[in-house]
Structure 1
């Protein structure tokens, strides 16, 4: 009996010691992750327990996505607020910790409607957990290539999405202090909210640059095959023009509905879609790569303008590529013109319908009067 009591006491003591160790470990991680400084910023500090409960202990049913860094989980607080928790893998902890702290440094400086917002952080874990706003409509990649999305049937919506991505990049390059190179612009990192507005995400490979510098020499080439700036690949120098090239690839993806790594066979030769797109612009055979079947004449004209912008962004020489501010301005103007032409078209259709209704009303009235006077037959 005494032995059992002593065993129970030892069990309680061990439990208390574990709790003390865990609390001290969390406090140590909090300090090491810069908690004392960060708690004075306008960012919510979550506890490890809060996030575990909100994600049902990171249950697989709540997993939104997975990458080399780790996984993203959906979480709920008080049953109402939905958010996304970026949880790193346990491997290569020192490297991943550096990546997460770097991403945290980047996203805390960003405030733009077309960039995913950081809701908070958890500093009690060895590697911080990042808590982002939850974007409900998935990625642009899914809408183009997987969902057969109805929004992709609208050229106006496609061009609107392109414009919003351009505005987000313009902000990062021209308005953020210091300027930010995203470093991995691709359709997977472009999220769409409930209104199908753009939210650019994933700043794990982003770079802060000082105003007096035009480039950064990367320790290793990072990015995604098909979207990477070829000049960055050969020199190791990443610049804001590297983002411009990647944006050009996204434009081609939006216009053609093809993945940037796909190939098209022409005259028995397989040609990468990007090269095929550029050559079709030079040969004035854009209809070979873009389906204009559902486009109006005004839309075709605007699509060709956007295609010209894409080709400029895809220039092999980064110095000849336009700045994102110029690209954003051009796309915004094209959208305004397209909106104007649609309004005018709808106005003409409405006027035609009104004229037809008036004609029908006049005809009916005249026929009725003629009937009352004993007249029948055609008015004409």
Structure 2
């Protein structure tokens, strides 16, 4: 079998697998479809211009402004325009979004569709169920890609570590959807698997990478000593929570772009202050709107209905990655990337809040459609072992 291989079982990989139908594909994940992907951890929601007072043009303008002049305008237009269709598609897959739209930093309108504070989990599990039911998808769990097989700038397959040892999987094409690099930092909100493996696979195969210096730090991780740090979603600030120090002084605009808020917090910490996110105005409503965050706070001995939450910036998202075109194609023939592992140009230097799940679904779908058109690879004789392993 030499059907295309998709590496990664987050939203981008799952969307790609579904979009490839009826072309047979293999979905390979180091964990399972139920655990390991950063998409499962996404709290805030999906940004899409579906409100009566909103428009695609406004969403595009907010995205360009947050990207600090470094977005690819064509990519922004293409991906943001797909927002309303993404919400419709996910509803068709059974995702039950809450009534009402959320507000997050640097958005001019309420446009965040959410499932309380566990949107990523709801979306990922719905897509995983669809993939399990799809006859064209072969799921390979507990298999870690360690090297791509490339000859004359053309993908021929990959090597993977499995329970049975190292195996070579010939493939017509390979899509990398392995997420970002946040686990490389001490203070991070990402799962341990977000260690840049996909980028290393692509780089060692000769693919072009882009904008690797642009790493986004989310302003508000729960500063409880845990690693990874539980995230305090930007949606909490969207509902009126304020940032104060130990004296009660409010020192920044909570709804400024993430990079500005994160820098303001770092400066305040460096001056010897403690930083807290005060959402006590929500009272008992905090647990109803943010049950996941409420549980994380209580596990750390904090009642967010009555106490400000200690916070600090955490490594959260990588705007850089494998350089791809509008169909997800990398510079190596037969190699694709989607989601956080890819650099599409949507985010520029700074991702607008809740554009990540949107990008993952749109780029995964586009790449999956392109995979379906890849010609079957000729049978190859693999070397005894990969030339370099990560």
Shorter-chain TM-score: what band? under 0.3
**Between Structure 1 and Structure 2, whose CA radius of gyration is higher?**
1
Q: Normalization by structure 2: what TM-score?
A: 0.23
Determine which structure has the larger helix proportion and give its number: 1
Greater relative contact order (Cα < 8 A, sep 6+): 2
